[in-house]
Structure 1
Amino acid sequence: MSTIEKIQEELDVLLQEEKEHEIILYNDDVNTFDFVIDSLISVCEHTLEQAEQCTILVHYKGKCTVKTGSYKDLEPRCSMLLDLGLSAEIQ
């Protein structure tokens, strides 16, 4: 294996580790619009407008990406959303 191939392989591994993930929030029939909006502002650091738009998308489309980033950053945020009674997962 040439030096260039080895470096490219190492770079590919690093890029996979830094891959962006996303928190997907799903619709439910339990939580109110205001509660979901407040949760997104608190947990995902959304502005009021971002939280409102995501909440509307979740309501009408069934799901919405509410936060992107590294898995390390998203995992505790997703756990907080789940603890609040929302339906969410990291992809």
Structure 2
Amino acid sequence: MGIGFEVQVDKDTQTLIPAKVIVYNDDWHTFEEVIFQLIKAIKCDLETAQQLTWEIHTKGKAVVFEGDFEEALTVTNILEEIDLSVEIIL
């Protein structure tokens, strides 16, 4: 018989990588489309989505999410469903 040992790995342990999601202004999406997609992607309220959309429109871009990289990927994928111009910054 061989000598065995057991290794426990905590599945909840993650290395969190901080990331930001930026949405850029464009000339083809309506305010309503962007607002709806922001609510869907970042699960914010209507007022927050409206404020972010206005910032995107007036400043050319806005940080719409700050958090873990994995979550940022999920947010980005949802925003890209309607071809919004999005970037993740690490």
TM-score range with shorter-chain normalisation?
0.7 to 0.9
Give the structure 1 partner of residue 34 of structure 2: 36
Q: Deviations over 1:26-68 (max 9, x none)?
A: 0000000011001000111111111000000000000000011
Aligned residues: 75
Q: Which amino acid aligns with 2:80?
A: L
Q: Give me the CA root mean square deviation.
A: 1.1
> What residue ranges of structure 1 are gaps of 5+ in the alignment?
1-16
- SS of the residue 1:30 aligns to: coil
Residues in 2 aligned to 1:80 and 1:89: alpha-carbon distance in whole angstroms: 13
Give the structure 2 partner of residue 25 of structure 1: 23
Give the structure 1 partner of residue 7 of structure 2: none
Q: Deviations over 1:5-25 (max 9, x none)?
A: xxxxxxxxxxxx534211000
Structure (1 or 2) with the greater helix fraction: 1
Higher-Rg structure is 2
Give the structure 1 partner of residue 71 of structure 2: 73
TM-score, L = length of structure 2: 0.78
